[in-house]
A = this chain, B = another copy of it.
């Protein structure tokens, strides 16, 4: 499983757990509204700074984005 896929799968799961829509999360993190969808579909490679902003808005530890879904 590519790291993009691990990240995207975890991003979607953690966003759902937070109750935020893709648009709400994008707005809060200051990124493009379509970009969250691209990341969840593993269609783009975010920078570490973007990953940090997403973690802050979801109130999660960034390490949670990188845990393999099968291992949970």
Asked if A51 lies at the interface with its beta carbon under 8 angstroms from chain B, I say yes
Q: Which B-chain residue is minimally distant from A62 (CB atoms)? A: B66
Tell me, in angstroms, the Cα distance from A47 to B7 when the chains sit together.
12
Q: Are B51 and A3 in contact (CB under 8 A)?
A: yes
A70 to chain B, nearest CB (A): 13
Contacts from A to B (Cβ < 8 Å)? 2-4, 6-7, 45-52, 55, 61-63, 65-67
Question: What are the nearest 3 A-B pairs in CB distance?
Answer: A3-B52, A45-B49, A45-B47
A3-B55, A45-B49, A65-B66 known; 5 new pairs, CB 8 Å cut-off, are: A7-B48, A45-B47, A45-B50, A62-B66, A66-B66
